Amino acid sequence: MTNTAVARALQTIQGCTDPKSLRQIATNARGKGELEVARAADLRLYAILPSEAPGTFEHDVWQSIHALEGTLTVERAKTTRLGRTRQKIARVGEFETIKDLILGPKPSEGFFMLIERQMVDLTFEAVALRHPDRFDEAVLIAAAARLRSAADQGHETPAIDPAV
């Protein structure tokens, strides 16, 4: 693709709200080796898939889940679902699930998978830090520490409030 075609594709993706179209754009872009376009389509898809209102804690949680599931589905060439995470959310809700994962003794497998795929903003730790009013100080400190640890290992991470 020419630079003009890439710019046009990225502009189309930005305004697209149809999951089927975004999946097709991503598939076509991957086939042409246009990974920037494929990534943009994928990220837009993950942003529009949650049924919750954008900007809410619940939307951000489901965006993260869709991102990891979608990425693993593409990589493995078979549908992948985060079964245990979905089951726990069904049992105790998004808040308790995220809190438990953040306070766990070690990062979840999903945390590492998102970090490795340069989707740090979609980790549950980053979600918690974007919604500090929902969590107590212990959760926010644990989330910030985990993200700082990833940064110390050379991964790009979101800005972390030094007060946390």
Domain boundary among 48, 65, 83: 48
Count of domains observed in the chain: 2
| Whole-Å CA distances, 100 to 12, 89, 95, 122, 126 | 38, 11, 9, 17, 14
Q: What local confidence, expressed as pLDDT, does residue 153 receive?
A: 78
Structural domain harbouring 113: 52-164
* Average pLDDT rounded to a whole number, residues 66-95: 96
Tens digit of pLDDT for each residue in 28-73?
999 999 999 999 999 999 999 999 999 999 999 999 999 999 999 9
Q: What local confidence, expressed as pLDDT, does residue 155 receive?
A: 64
Q: Are residues 61 and 44 in the same domain?
A: no
Q: Are residues 73 and 132 in the same domain?
A: yes
Q: Are residues 25 and 74 in the same domain?
A: no
- Predicted confidence band of residue 151 (pLDDT cuts 50, 70, 90): confident
| Whole-Å CA distances, 106 to 32, 102, 161 | 39, 8, 22
More confident residue, 3 or 67: 67
Q: Are residues 67 and 110 in the same domain?
A: yes
Q: Are residues 16 and 68 in the same domain?
A: no
Q: Are residues 77 and 151 in the same domain?
A: yes
**Average pLDDT of the chain, as a whole number:** 93
Q: Are residues 142 and 158 in the same domain?
A: yes
pTM: 0.90
Q: Are residues 107 and 126 in the same domain?
A: yes
Residue 118: CB partners within 8 Å, gap ≥ 6?
156
Q: At residue 7, does pLDDT exceed 80?
A: yes
Lowest mean pLDDT among 33-42, 139-148, 154-163: 154-163
Q: At residue 162, does pLDDT exceed 60?
A: no
Q: Is 69 exposed, middle or buried (0-12, 13-18, 19+ CB in 10 A)?
A: buried
Q: What local confidence, expressed as pLDDT, does residue 2 receive?
A: 79
